[in-house]
Amino acid sequence: MSDLLKGRSGDWELVIGLEIHAQVVAEAKLFSGAATTFGAAPNEQVSFVDAGMPGMLPVLNEACVEQAVRTGLALNAEINLQSIFARKNYFYPDMPQGYQISQYEAPIVGEGEIVIDLPDDESCTIGIERLHLEQDAGKSVHDRHPNKSYIDLNRSGVTLMEIVSKPDMRSAEQAAAYVTKMRAIMRYIGSCDGNMQEGSMRADANVSVRRPGEALGTRCEIKNLNSIRFMRQAIDYEAARQIEIIEDGGKIDQETRLFDSGKGETRSMRSKEDAHDYRYFPDPDLLPLRFEQSYVDSLKSSLPELPEAKKQRFMEAFGLSAYDASVLVAERETADYFETVAEGRDPKLAANWVISDLFGRLNRAETPVSESPVVASALGGLIDLIADGTISGRIAKDVFADMFDTGRSAFEIVEEKGLKQVSDTGALEAAVDQVMADNPDRVADYRGGNQKLVGWFMGQIMKSSGGKANPQMVNELLRKKLGSG
Amino acid sequence: MSLDKDTVRRIATLARIRVDEEALEPLAGELNNILGWVEQLNEVDTQDVPPMTSVVETEPFQRVDRVDDGGQVEDVLANAPEEAEHFFVVPKVIE
Amino acid sequence: MPTLTQMTLAQARDGLVGGEFSAVELTDAHIAATEAVRDLNCYILETPDAARDMALAADERRSRGEGGALNGIPLAIKDLFCTKGVQATAGSHILEGFTPPYESTITRQLWEAGAVMLGKTNLDEFAMGSSNMTSYFGPVVNPWQRTNDDAKLVPGGSSGGSASIVAARAAMAATGTDTGGSIRQPGSFCGIVGMKPTYGRCSRWGVIAFASSLDQAGPLTRTVQDSAIVLGAMAGHDPKDSTSVNVPVPDYEAALGGDLKGLKIGVPKEYRLDGTPAEIEALWEEGINWLKAAGAEIVEISLPHTKYALPAYYIVAPAEASSNLARYDGVRYGLRVEGGTPQEMYENTRGEGFGVEVKRRVLIGTYVLSAGYYDAYYLQAQRVRTRIAQDFHEAWEQVDAVLTPTTPSAAFAQGEKMDDPIAMYLNDVLTVPASMSGLPAISVPAGLSGDGLPLGLHVIGRPFDESTVFKVGQVIEEAANFTALPQLMAGGA
């Protein structure tokens, strides 16, 4: 499938690289012991180190190193047994030290790759350039005062993993799939909660265009995209903007841009440091970070099964389509839920129920699967009743709705409401005979060629049986009896 | 390696230090004097010599991940030139 | 019997324990002495009320038979140390009025040992200087004067206030910091003992940073024994400082004494500089002879990269400083000069808040780290630094300590060497190599110049071998028998 964009003067190829900033799950910050929880009152979670006070010094948090290594392993990436913290020097009110402690020439994680899920059961591999640890900045609030900005340093010093992809993506869709997968991976291993609304995961997109086969074009960076939807819009807008400029004979200025979600446009950022001379040098307050291969190996052995591996296993072991498998593995909780339901049952049936019915209700109720009123074993119970013919698939839908609303078991509901399906041949034959006798014109119509009428007959019988007639059997009987004569 | 006043102006901006226009030229002279003096370092053969990354040879110390700091907003703000509602206050940042 | 301000710290400690006088008496004597030498401008902030309270508490502990190694001893603290509830300025306008809500690890240890704080001493701004002429709070005067000349002399720097007040006998000891020589050089200029321990021996937490890979705190005292006592209380691993080394602190005082039999002392030929005054060369020779007489073997060694240490220092230190001083922006503490935008506010604040020398070094530092120059300057300087450290590393295979003069001259007059920064930088040419290598080093007063000014000898040791450095230093002290006193001392010369 071609992702090429059509310009006025021919095809264009879109080249996208993403930088993801992911807040690491940890109690305390990267270099200080202040808390990291979201939503605290201003400057309540600030140590003197985070406030950049005179004489303060950073001390590395061991859990953050662990999370970075685990994430690197989950990205199939090279783990660097030695890495260096470097200072990135620039002035900004939310950067109290006047520099950010980051990593530059020697990051903790090197090259890796992930597989992303595309439509039509396709997938492709996107390369990872590197992952490094760095401090997050504080927050500036600009709307509490007409000509002043307010600074909250709670977020200052929180651990970020910056994950830089290779410029391997060719469409906004691929970019979205990449972010989705990256988020899933980090949530699986618990290194980042991926909450884009709260800002614990942010993306910057580097976007350029080129004629197919030519060298890379000049790229623009779109910063701080905090939803996948906005990212797609921003990329599409930016691609069109760049194509138009070039086709009009202009050149792209390499610059940093922001996405205005209200207008759906990207615009140039005015006052960021024009020279961007960060004067990186190794932080003399910190020693080079070193660990042994045995440390890496032990972290690797304790990683859970990752989304891609789980997806492949679901496809092979359960015969699911790539699409269904990828939907189920999107979250570890849903994958676990599904596996419980599928155990000893028809996996495709289980997949359908989980994906269509359960997810449908959960999404409407804005409830996570961990809080589902229908637990996995209960859904399994419902499926068992379909499998052994106790109820029809049609009735099961109603039973499921009741289960979701009341938390009761399928068996209980079927018993109480008397919903067992009627599969008795005699009773069904009688019902079919009855409806045919009552509607001779329609019978004649059907026999005259209007085969679609079987649906109407079905409807009548389902109505008269209170929905309990076994639909497959009724269908067979109808076709047999209507067909003859 | 010689600084002119434009370079000094640029460096002063990078360092966020206001330098009056008339002071740029003399400052360039002073800095050139110092930079000229340190040029002698190029006499040293440093082929294959690693830059010093740590003065001490010691096992890097890492903290256990637990919250043992923060929760001292009054102290954090105690020396602030301007504060409001527990925020630091600065002139408006234009993005 | 020496007076309360003339006696050594060790004598005062013993006197207190022996009940010969009280801590309050001792502190009062030093407060009076401080008033007598106030013209020296040693202090940015005197804290006599707090001192008296602390002395009372020390007497209280004494009466219960308790009290740490420095119980009741009055100290002066360089105003680079953050002291909780007491102003810390780093000698700069940009931190005037800053009151730290935290205590530096070193001063916390000193108060836990029972010491008394007399005040915060004056220093070159942000520890950048060798004369204490760059302080926003005015220059410090050296209590020593040239024979028949009442010109005010510099005490050296950056720990000028600390050195001067101890030499003036108005504090028993003082803390200093040494980045390129800022304890040892003022020690030499003021005729007292200045000790810079191994990098990582003392915690830097709460010490306002100048150059992170070089800064080290240390004591200024009148004797080597006093220096060993105070360093013992200052040293120790601090988990809040990632560059602090977890090595136990030996009893430095107990290790003193004895001869130097079996010890090898290196004399590096590269420390014989062109233009070194003959009297300093002569003093160095005398020192060599003293050590020989004490049983040491003298070995001529070569430290080939010595002369590059100072220019390399003047790249690395300003580079680190330019980054360490970026936090002084008027946002969260200290001086703020308003501006229409934050960036303007920064430029105005720092333009007004920093002095000339600080600005010079921050600009140099910014330049040598900037794009296109990093490799040629900063990286090259750090490579040269490796070479300098390697020189010593190889020397330790031949010798146990190194003896050199401390400074290329005696104290000079205020206002001299101000026209050419490099002339000022050259004060540290002999002390800087030990700083760049992170090695422990001490300056001990060894003799007088022709002008009657003190001259020091300098002993450098292996990493974490402060004990040998103290031992050799004490041998020099005993042999030198330096009993001269400064003219502007409390109680008169």
Tell whether A104 is within 8 A of chain C (Cβ).
no
Contact assignment for A284 to C102 by CB distance below 8 Å: no
Q: Which residue of C has its CA nearest to B12?
A: C363
Candidate from A34, A269, A271 with C-beta closest to B67: A34
Cα separation values, A32 from A85, A93, A162, B71, C325, Å = 15, 19, 19, 13, 20
Residues from chain A contacting residue B93 (CB–CB below 8 Å): 93, 140, 142, 149
Give the chains touching A; criterion: ≥3 Cβ pairs < 8 Å. B, C
For all residues of chain A together, what is the average pLDDT? Answer: 92
Residue range C270-315, pLDDT digits in tens? 998 888 899 999 999 999 999 999 999 999 999 999 999 999 999 9
Q: What span, in angstroms and rounded, lies between the C-alpha atoms of A297 and A73?
A: 10
Q: Which residue of C has its CA nearest to B89?
A: C331
The interaxial angle of helices C105-112 and C224-234, nearest 10 deg, is 110
Residues from chain C contacting residue A87 (CB–CB below 8 Å): 323
**Average confidence (pLDDT) over C82-109:** 98
pLDDT band for position A270 (50/70/90)?
A: low
Percent of all residues in chain C with a pLDDT value above 90, rounded to a whole number = 95
Instruction: Give which of C55, C43, C64 is closest to C161, Cα–Cα.
Output: C43
Give the chains touching B; criterion: ≥3 Cβ pairs < 8 Å. A, C
**Average confidence (pLDDT) over A30-58:** 97
Residue C493 has pLDDT above 50, yes or no: no
**ipTM of this predicted complex?**
0.96
**Average confidence (pLDDT) over C355-359:** 96
Give the pLDDT of residue C421: 84
Residue range C115-135, pLDDT digits in tens? 999 999 999 999 999 999 999
**Average confidence (pLDDT) over A284-302:** 96
- Quick check: pTM over 0.90? yes
Residue range C249-273, pLDDT digits in tens? 999 999 999 899 999 999 999 998 8
Residue A482 has pLDDT above 90, yes or no: no
Percent of all residues in chain C with a pLDDT value above 70, rounded to a whole number = 100
pLDDT band for position C11 (50/70/90)?
A: very high
Residue range A49-72, pLDDT digits in tens? 999 999 999 999 999 999 999 999
Residue C396 included in any domain: no
Q: What span, in angstroms and rounded, lies between the C-alpha atoms of A484 and A481?
A: 5
Query: Within 10 Å of residue A460's Cβ, how many Cβ atoms?
Result: 18
Residue C265 included in any domain: no
Residue A272 has pLDDT above 60, yes or no: no
Residue range B63-80, pLDDT digits in tens? 999 999 999 999 999 999
Tell whether A124 is within 8 A of chain C (Cβ).
no
Distance from CA of B40 to the nearest CA of A (A): 22
Active site residue C261: no
Instruction: For residue C97, give the CATH number of its domain.
Output: 3.90.1300.10
Contact assignment for B76 to A147 by CB distance below 8 Å: no
Q: Which residue of C has its CA nearest to B44?
A: C384
Domains held by chain C: number = 1
Residue range C426-472, pLDDT digits in tens? 889 999 999 999 999 999 999 999 999 999 999 999 999 999 999 99
Give the pLDDT of residue B88: 97
Give the pLDDT of residue C376: 92
Given the residues C130, C159, C162, C182, the one annotated as active site: C182
Instruction: Give which of C207, C143, C197, C137 is closest to C170, Cα–Cα.
Output: C143
Q: Which residue of A has its CA nearest to C319?
A: A281
Give the pLDDT of residue B54: 81
Contact assignment for A150 to B87 by CB distance below 8 Å: yes
What DSSP assignment string belongs to B49-76?
A: PPPP--SS--PPP-B-S---S---HHHH
Active site residue C182: yes
Active site residue C158: yes
Q: Which of A198-207, A391-400, B43-52 has the lowest mean pLDDT?
A: A391-400
Residue to mutate among A140, A150, A270, with most B CBs inside 10 A, is: A150
3-state secondary structure chain A: CCCCEEECCEEEEEEEEEEEEEECCCCECCCCCCECCCCCCCCCCCCCCCCCCCCCCCCCEHHHHHHHHHHHHHCCCCECCEECCEEEECCCCCCCCCEEEECCCCCCECCEEEEEECCCCCEEEEEEEEEEEEECCCEEECCCCCCEEEEECCCCCCEEEEEEECCCECCHHHHHHHHHHHHHHHHHHCCCCCCCCCCCEEEEEEEEEECCCCCCCCCEEEEEECCHHHHHHHHHHHHHHHHHHHHCCCCCCCCEEEEECCCCEEEECCCCCCCCCCCCEECCCCCCEECCHHHHHHHHHCCCCCHHHHHHHHHHHHCCCHHHHHHHHCCHHHHHHHHHHHCCCCHHHHHHHHHHHHHHHHHHHCCCHHHCCCCHHHHHHHHHHHHCCCCCHHHHHHHHHHHHHHCCCHHHHHHHHCCCCECCHHHHHHHHHHHHHHCHHHHHHHHCCCHHHHHHHHHHHHHHCCCCECHHHHHHHHHHHHHCC
Query: Could you tell me the fold of the domain covering A425-483?
Result: Arc Repressor Mutant, subunit A (1.10.10)
Candidate from B30, B49, B80 with C-beta closest to C333: B80
**Average confidence (pLDDT) over C185-212:** 98
Contact assignment for A62 to B64 by CB distance below 8 Å: yes
Tell whether C99 is within 8 A of chain A (Cβ).
no
**Tokens at residue A118, please?**
């595309």
Residue C27 included in any domain: yes
Cα separation values, C390 from A391, A399, C305, C433, Å = 85, 81, 9, 11
The contact set of B with A (CB < 8 A) is 10, 14, 16, 53-54, 56, 58, 60-73, 75-77, 84-95
Distance from CA of C374 to the nearest CA of A (A): 8
Contact assignment for B88 to A282 by CB distance below 8 Å: no
Contact assignment for A61 to B62 by CB distance below 8 Å: yes
Q: Which of A113-122, A194-203, A262-271, C337-346 has the lowest mean pLDDT?
A: A262-271
pLDDT band for position C23 (50/70/90)?
A: very high
Domain map (residue ranges) of chain A:
5-299, 305-417, 425-483
pLDDT band for position A121 (50/70/90)?
A: confident
Residue C233, classed as helix, strand or coil, is helix
Given the residues C22, C104, C158, C164, the one annotated as active site: C158
For all residues of chain C together, what is the average pLDDT? Answer: 96
Tell whether C221 is within 8 A of chain A (Cβ).
no
pLDDT band for position A393 (50/70/90)?
A: confident
Q: Highest mean pLDDT range out of A1-10, A110-119, C189-198, C482-491?
A: C189-198
**Tokens at residue C197, please?**
């321990």
Residue range A153-165, pLDDT digits in tens? 999 999 999 999 9
User: Among positive and negative, which fits the CA dihedral C469, C470, C471, C472?
Assistant: positive
- What backbone torsions phi and psi does residue C442 show, to the nearest 5 degrees? -130, 145
Residue C449 included in any domain: yes
Instruction: Give which of C243, C169, C141 is closest to C2, Cα–Cα.
Output: C169
Residue ranges making up the domain that contains C230: 9-259+410-480
Residue C416 has pLDDT above 90, yes or no: no
Give the pLDDT of residue B60: 75
Amino acid found at C67: G
Distance from CA of C355 to the nearest CA of A (A): 18
Q: What span, in angstroms and rounded, lies between the C-alpha atoms of C107 and C105?
A: 6
pLDDT band for position A428 (50/70/90)?
A: confident
pLDDT band for position A2 (50/70/90)?
A: low
Residue C216, classed as helix, strand or coil, is strand
Distance from CA of B50 to the nearest CA of C (A): 6
